[in-house]
Amino acid sequence: MRPDPDCRLCGLCDGRTNIVLPDGDPSSGVVLVGEAPGENEDLEGRPFVGRSGRILEGMLSDAGLDRSMVLITNTVKCRPPGNRDPSPVEMAACRPFLESELRGARLVVGLGKSACRDLMGHTGPMADIVNRPTEIDVGGTMVPFIPTYHPAATIYNKVSRAELRRTMDMVAEVLGACTPDL
């Protein structure tokens, strides 16, 4: 299920250039979910293509993976003004699209606080949940879920960076890829 090209389910439509649809392999069974498109994503119409995308791709590569081996998406499909966090109303408007992307997944990874709040209801500090596997409900089916830091949170924080690397190693395990020794 994809949004209508002229989707007007929430106010984010007013400032968007493009609806940012998922990118990668939907049959992989692994879905990485960020919070919302940024400026570069809005311009290109693909998730995680800016600075955060380069970090994510590097982490995937370090784990022996390529971004084409997973499905990458966001909780909302349009860029919030000023790169603010998406609101609960905006997330709810896009939820049917996200749920359709998550159906059949073997593993979902929440990248950052907003994604984890939307997918698992967590409102506390990320440090309390990072890399602690749990499950989320996707259309009545419980799916394995790993909450982790958003790539942007790893830019100046070595602990966050190490944890995101660990997450990508877990993803590689699920995909059966060989991971390099750290």
For residue 98 the two structure tokens come to 């996200």
pLDDT in tens, 16-64: 999 999 999 999 999 999 999 999 999 999 999 999 999 999 999 999 9
pLDDT at residue number 140 = 94
Residue 119, amino acid: L
Q: Length of the chain, please?
A: 182
Cβ contacts of 143 within 8 Å, gap of 6 or more: 102, 105, 106, 107, 108, 135, 136, 137
Decide: residue 104, CB within 10 A, 0-12 exposed, 13-18 middle, 19+ buried: middle
pLDDT in tens, 94-152: 999 999 999 999 999 999 999 999 999 999 999 999 999 999 999 999 999 999 999 99
Indicate if the pLDDT at residue 179 is higher than 70.
Answer: no
Task: Please compute the mean of the pLDDT values over residues 3-26 and round it to a whole number.
Answer: 94
pLDDT at residue number 181 = 44
**Contact predicate 101/73, CB 8 Å:** yes
pTM here is 0.93
* CATH fold for domain 11-174: Uracil-DNA Glycosylase, subunit E (3.40.470)
Cα separation, 145 vs 142, whole angstroms: 9
Alpha-carbon distances of 133 from 77, 105, 176, rounded to whole Å: 26, 15, 18
Give the pLDDT band (50/70/90) at residue 178.
very low
Give the pLDDT band (50/70/90) at residue 182.
very low
For residue 107 the two structure tokens come to 């593993």
pLDDT at residue number 176 = 86
